Structure 1
């Protein structure tokens, strides 16, 4: 693998400080001092034309005067001087730049112009630029402290990435006091070039980092952010804190970093979909990192509480209720087993109160019983140092009981001096410890949220069904015609037609412009009917008297038509009236009213909303939200979180609503959001759902052009599974195989494929002696981000229990996005059958269609067959100047027509 774009930012062999100065209290002095004080072993070059030496180091008048390689440059000079300094860094071919200086986008148009200038220079030269207006970067294991922070930093397993330098310094100080350390620290400031996505991508493969903390004020590129976040969260826990949950905080965040406003609710949904955990305070951030980095994991969310004090147990139960963490219901067998080992006056319920005289044996026996209960997913053990309590011995008992269980155990030893040794023993054994019952429940909540969000991360919604692919074109044509006419909305009939193209059940309607037409339409549809005003200026028809329900007599239709027009004329005389729609009246005595909507978020693009329908002034205020694309699992989860969930269950004489039909509707809405980027707002309200099925009886769609240079799904924060790419190929011996993009559910056959390769094939593919594939690698191979990578698989007996992989070809975008790196593996029994070349041809076509200009790769010099194939495919070959055993292969993709649908 090539070095990551940020390698020389986080692992430099040399650092130059432009703006270094001997003046104490200045940023330039503090950065230079920190590099020395932290023990950086590489070369340090102060740059200042006014000094010969600073802090005992030779000082250079300019970066171009340094006669040795410079990996990292830190700039601490006035903003207006930085463009010229950047040009010199480009001439010097430095590896990366950190701009600490302020005075850019946050100060107005001139600052924004300067920021755009230095960003353009950096990108043109392919030099990563961190900042501007940032604290800097740290790599404690290297002694690298390229910041102006005054805090000392220990080495540790947690990485910190923040937009706010002030937040960094506060957290570093708190971590030092608490004995915590960091694998890396990056203050990104304005994220003009290097953003969260790139840093997360680097940290995801960093073997020093076990968990990642993020402080985010705003997201500029939702696709890049979620791409990096999902890649990292697949491999290690990511915990996020974001201010701006309310309007005042949002305004402050925008002023500070220029971050986009967007919806905090949508941001939260995006984090959940990416597998990350969100917290709201600094203490929660550190506690969540501590809990998740311990390696403890959940398979459910039911918490049991074991305590030697009733009060702390009640406090923990209350906190569980606040966080909606379900308390476990102990089985009858567990209650009987506990009764045999506990005093007769124990609580006999949950929380399990061991009483104030609980000894170590009682703790061990009770905890072992509770952990064996199938209704329990995890246990919080509490201890208060009462008169006869032995905190240290009880901690040892808990450790012993937990050792044989696969369920997580969390502990809270309340107090100070008496419990100190017990806490230390618990922490040493990897049992997360907290100082209060509430904090312990919070810790379990982080585990539950992580488990829940990781399930969301694994979801890969299916492609658009074939028949809807063709019919979707009619919906695109309707929207295109409306936009060409300058209309911001579809009329009711057009909206219904667009929904019908995606198999969404919608009531029949006829638009009329006279009382007589209204009567004829009613007779055509069949009485009773509904009449609604048709106006592009009126979204809420009921508010202006524009709706009449259940009109049962043909003689009444004409008069109702006139009444509607009169009511609307009185309330909104300036409204443009296109007529009145006559619609079938749906009679569903058991129906519940729900709303399904698509709206466009300022940051994350289209989102799906679901909730209780009706005539509320702000019908979307009580809805739950999800980021498309969706599948059955995600739709079910969206329903469960919604205000409509309790309405859908059966009660008394009301049968349960048809949940399957509702899930289908949400999946069709997801397809609409994916395939029709011009939708600004789609409101299906109400949708009537009963035990038989559902019907959308009203639809209102606002549209707007959606410019994107990212291709068909450029408006999406998460790239859908690429439909239309399945094909077949034939081997030289006449066998035919299916070729398609890889899916997460291919993990089983991917494992069999990799484990079945010969030692030589594995070595040629991975360039090191490899045993069985690890779970982390398996996730990385099968849960891919189709926006920046592609893996085509050749499958025999696809879709059956006997399915097996025969070859895999993949590309991954190189940093900068202009080129990609490829890899190819072919099963040993399929080599010399011509499938590797066919697969690579298709992969190159897709890479070209995605906008990549070049494809490259590293091939072992002894891999003669692969080098021969590369020559045949038009790759140029050259020996790696740093490693004679590796051949670097490169091919331009200009010759491929960008015809593939990606």
Structure 2
């Protein structure tokens, strides 16, 4: 091998675009105002440490630099080709680049899918050839790429962005130039400045992963028009958002949504609301205004994240405090209630006529010392999650001195501090003082409150993702009968039907442990009477139809029937109405159900398909007026109990479910579990297109599905074309049973978030030597069992990484315990993966490590990985022996003094 394995598998393919050593500009020209001239000039006038080659078959030189007729004539290996020729020529140029070994390209040219079918065909031709050679492409139809920190400017923008720590990616080239102009005025710097274009190849996920690995990038800011590959975006954002803020503004919020499905759920789940749910699920912060985009990047970089939504406001004028309060509360935030200790301290420090509440109005004659004392007391209040300090310039105000003293006293606070120094030149020096102290300032206090509301929502979303659920998924799996539900759906599909009757739908729910009201079928008036007497009066009759989904459209529900005559009459009314309005063939009898005494709440739980994200879940206020109230929350499956609770918390009905006006509290934990099982149903039964329970009756005594509706995809739709969840569900197929030498049974399965307590015990049982061999340096157990650290191990994105645990039941305690942990992680930008294995000391040498690694390799083959690699310390003879046994090639790296293991799958 010409280079060590470690450098080979650590190199990122996008380095060819963002850190090239050689760049060819294909279409370079000297024509004034031409894109090819501007790009070449930007590259040579901003040194990036590499060489630039103009390519133009009609000129011997461009801008005084020797030009070459085609890429094959360039006398060096080209890393990056910037293409600015007409669209029809680009497929041929990409072919030439592939043959010349070019690994990265930026296609500036327009005229592709944005012009219609012919342009889309050109794109596919380009993509097929590039993928065959593992060439990565940004564009087409883009402005280009800047890396201001290194000096690379492969764009046709006027000027070079200032270096900084914010990465900006935009689908709009025009917006890029506007933001660039704005950044010069506001002195904002960038680590990367990327116009992504129409995302033929490199997409949001690729760039988020790349920037997540970049040490110079502290936050990632996106201007998005389309999301592209939803799973790629969510997978990357969910991983990177744990360490770097990702802030997005999405155009098209008020555009007409795609046609809603013919269900309550579909009509409520507009595409923009689904996008909001997706952003929440992966920890991305969505802002509403372009002006907020970079403000949030600054604030999240400079300030700690708030624990909650309660803000304390300190002001020297009542009006601005009131405006701030309005903005805070309208955005979902709350005023912190001042503690008794805080009130006492403020009474002692402030004049008698201060506001005696929050906002803390310290009066117009406030001195720097009064401000300083007030903000110090307010910042120490345990009820407060953040602080906003407002200053209005009055005759006796000293804005600069106040800023200086306040900055010193708040230097070590662990709560976010925002400031609004209102005014112009009079407060400018104070604003500079605050900014130098990393206290973000805003012209207006309501803007500051908008920013604080974004901050606590960002914290809330991240906490939702990585908060350990209370209930193991296995507990819910035991309560389900997936096979029975699948068989029922296949029976309906074989008949060429797409609509399940209510009776069939309720059988599906019962298979997943979702309680339903007793429901009996009747195909004649006499049979209906017999069923009613079997159940007991009063009863409800409902239409049973294989084609009609909304029974209310045909008066298909008859309530509160108290005797046999009423049942017969109700049966005939339903039959007659259906026959007259739809036809006799749409009537397949009725269902008979008990007339429930409804002293509780009507909820709706449903799922419909989104064109980008696949199945989407809905929870909210149900009943016949569900579309009117519009009280609902959306989420992406699969759910755990934490995510189910977060969906519930977003609705207005949630407050009532906790008990109001003398009513008891609904069993929210049971409702969480029901939502988890419902999401499991949606994930495990991909043939379902639409499904809802409306109403789901909820009272302190019980939860029960009163009505059920399921619609399937077209029976002829192949399995591989069924929509898939945007978030990969738990891969139950990667579960095996294995026997230790002593005969005890071990289950090897993918890790779950609920395994965090078991991982704590596992880690605490490892010796210092085992930890050293795993992490290559001495590491404390306390750092490894911190929630933030374990979240990275237990909250696995199964689409990008697969972590297995070997679990057995402890023979003495009868409780589960983890004996080994193994992980297979895709290397960003490649189809390779890196593995790691850790076996508890007392089970080393039992063959468990070999078994775990062999299972990881089996998964790698099934997931179509090309290669698996690892770094091993030379003294780790056990792992070296296991790798050799399983066919890995081992090679010593003299630079790192480690052993590199590699196997091609």
Q: TM-score, normalised by structure 1?
A: 0.91
User: What is the rounded CA distance, in whole Å, between the counterparts of 1:36 and 1:616 in structure 2?
Assistant: 65
Q: Residue 787 of structure 1 is aligned with which of 794, 799, 810?
A: 799
Confirm or deny that 1:57 pairs with 2:65: yes
**Of 525, 539, 542, the match for 1:532:** 542
In the other structure, the counterpart of 1:556 is 566
Give CA-to-partner distance per residue, 1:531-582, whole Å, 9 cap, x none: 1112233322123211111111123211111112223334434772222221
- Whether the aligned pair in 2 keeps the contact of 1:244 and 1:250 (CA below 8 Å) is no
SS of structure 2 residue aligned to 1:386 = coil
8 Å Cα contact 1:677-1:706 kept in structure 2:
no
1:808 alignment counterpart: 821
Equivalent residue in structure 2 for 1:678, among 676, 687, 696? 687
2:729 corresponds, among 702, 720, 724, to 720
User: Can you give the 5+ residue segments of structure 2 that lack an aligned partner in the other structure?
Assistant: 1-8, 260-268
Judge conservation of contact 2:210–2:828 (CA < 8 Å) in 1: no
Once the two structures are TM-superposed, the CA of residue 119 in structure 1 deviates from its matched residue by 0.7
Secondary structure of 2:825's aligned partner = strand
Judged with a 3 Å threshold, the aligned counterparts in structure 2 of structure 1 residues 402 and 51 are, in CA distance, closer, same or farther, namely same
Q: Give SS of 1:137's match.
A: strand
Partner residue, 1:268: 276
Q: Tell me the distance in 1 between the aligned counterparts of 2:426 and 2:474.
A: 62
Change in 2 beyond 3 A, CA 1:864/1:664:
closer
Choose the corresponding residue for 2:903, options 888, 891, 895.
Answer: 891
SS in 2 for 1:792: strand
Aligned-pair CA distance for 1:708: 10
1:203 corresponds to 2:211? yes
Say yes or no: does 1:194 pair with 2:205. no
Deviates more, 1:632-641 or 1:851-860: 851-860
Structure 1: distance between partners of 2:720 and 2:327: 47
1:437 lines up with 2:449 in the alignment: no
> For the residues of structure 1 that align with 2:629 and 2:15, how far apart are their CA atoms?
45
Deviation at 1:360, TM superposition (A): 1.6
1:483 is aligned to 2:498: no
2:297 to 289, 293, 305: 289
Partner of 2:400: 392
1:217 positional shift: 1.0
- The alpha-carbon deviation at position 471 of structure 1 amounts to 1.0
The structural deviation recorded for 1:106 is 0.8
Which sits farther off after the overlay, 871-880 or 408-417?
A: 871-880
1:810-845 C-alpha deviation (Å, 9 max, x unpaired): 112245664433233445665544332121012112
TM-aligned CA deviation for residue 92 of structure 1: 1.4
Residues 102 and 689 (structure 1), Cα distance of their counterparts in 2 relative to 1, 3 Å cut: same
Whole-Å Cα distance in 2 between the matches of residues 455 and 137 of structure 1? 34
Q: 1:71 to 1:708 in 2, by over 3 A?
A: farther
Equivalent-residue separation in structure 2 for 1:249 and 1:689 (angstroms) = 31
Aligned residue number for residue 712 of structure 2: 703
CA deviations on 1:599-628 (whole Å, 9 max, x unpaired) are: 111111111111111112737943211112
For residues 500-539 of structure 1, the aligned pairs below 5 Å read 500-539=510-549
Please, which of 86, 90, 115 is the counterpart of residue 82 of structure 1? Answer: 90
Matches within 5 A, 1:527-676: 527-573=537-583, 576-588=586-598, 590-616=599-625, 618=627, 621-676=630-685
**Aligned equivalent of 1:897:** none
Question: Partner of 2:335: helix, strand, or coil?
Answer: coil
Secondary structure at 1:583's aligned position in 2? strand
Structure 1 pair 430–754 and aligned structure 2 pair: CA distance change class (3 A): farther
Return 5+ residue gaps in structure 1 as ranges.
252-260, 894-902
In the alignment, what sits opposite 1:301? 309
Give yes or no for the alignment of 1:355 onto 2:363.
yes
Distance 1:878 1:710 in 2: 44
SS of 1:434's equivalent in the other structure is: coil
Q: Distance in 2 between matches of 1:519 and 1:737?
A: 55
1:737 offset after TM fit, Å? 6.0
1:225 is matched with 233
| Equivalent position SS for 1:403 | coil
In structure 2, the CA distance between the partners of 1:306 and 1:250, relative to structure 1 (3 Å rule), is farther
Q: TM-score, normalised by structure 2?
A: 0.91
CA shift, 1:649, in A, is 4.2
Note closer, same or farther for the CA distance 1:485–1:805 as it changes in structure 2 (3 Å cut): closer
> Could you say what secondary structure the match of 1:389 adopts?
coil
Q: Give, in whole Å, the separation in 1 of the partners of 2:810 and 2:331.
A: 44
Q: Distance in 2 between matches of 1:753 and 1:209?
A: 34
Counterpart contact for 1:713–1:720, Cα < 8 Å: no
CA distance in 2, matches of 1:559, 1:662: 37
Alignment partners' CA distance in 2, 1:728 and 1:29: 64
2:697 pairs with 1:688: yes
The 1:428/1:728 distance shift into structure 2, 3 A limit, reads farther
- C-alpha change, 1:320 and 1:809, in structure 2 (3 Å) is same
Aligned residues: 882
The Cα of 1:518 is off from its aligned counterpart by: 1.2
Q: Which residue of 1 aligns with 2:184?
A: 176
Say whether the 8 Å CA contact 1:126–1:816 is kept in structure 2. Answer: no
Residues 634 and 141 (structure 1), Cα distance of their counterparts in 2 relative to 1, 3 Å cut: same
Partner in structure 1 of residue 431 of structure 2 = 423
Alignment CA distance shift 1:707-1:771 (3 Å): farther
Give runs of aligned pairs for residues 6-405 of structure 1, distance below 5 A. 6-247=14-255, 263-405=271-413
Q: What displacement does 1:889 show?
A: 3.6
Q: Tell me how large the CA RMSD over aligned residues is.
A: 3.1
Q: For the structure 1 residues 826 and 29, does the alpha-carbon distance in structure 2 shift closer, same or farther, using more than 3 Å as the test?
A: farther
Contact 2:621 2:632 in 1 (8 A): yes
The answer as to whether partners of 1:459 and 1:631 remain within 8 angstroms in 2 is: no
Once the two structures are superposed, residues 80-126 of structure 1 have per-residue CA deviations (whole angstroms, 9 ceiling, x without a partner) of 11111111111111121111111111111111100001011111111
**In terms of mean alpha carbon deviation, does 2-11 or 487-496 score higher?**
2-11
- Quote the Cα distance in structure 2 between the aligned partners of 1:125 and 1:6: 14
* Higher RCO structure, 1 or 2 (CA under 8 Å, sep 6+): 2
**1:497 — aligned with what?**
507
Per-residue deviation, residues 58-81 of structure 1 (Å, max 9, x unmatched): 211111112222111111111111
**Per-residue CA distance 1:711-764 (angstroms, 9 max, x = gap):** 999711112333365556566688876644334466677688779978886676
In structure 2, the CA distance between the partners of 1:470 and 1:533, relative to structure 1 (3 Å rule), is closer
Provide the secondary structure at the position in 1 that maps to 2:481: helix
What's the CA shift for 1:431? Answer: 1.6
Q: Distance in 2 between matches of 1:768 and 1:66?
A: 46
SS across alignment from 1:212: strand
Structure 2 residue aligned with 1:255: none
* Aligned position for 2:263: none
Distance 1:86 1:879 in 2: 38
CA spacing shift, 1:181–1:778, aligned 2, 3 Å: farther
| Counterpart pick for 1:844 among 842, 846, 857 | 857
| 2:868 equivalent among 845, 850, 855 | 855
More deviation, 789-798/183-192 = 789-798
Note the alpha carbon deviations across 1:458-501, whole angstroms, 9 max, x for none: 15764354764761111111112212222111111110100000
Report if the CA contact (8 A) 2:689-2:712 is conserved: yes
Inter-partner Cα distance in structure 2 for 1:707 and 1:135 = 44
Does residue 871 in structure 1 map to residue 872 in structure 2?
no
Q: Distance in 2 between matches of 1:760 and 1:359?
A: 60
Q: Distance in 2 between matches of 1:754 and 1:208?
A: 32
Q: Is 263-272 or 125-134 further displaced after alignment?
A: 125-134
- How far off is 1:337 after superposition? 1.6
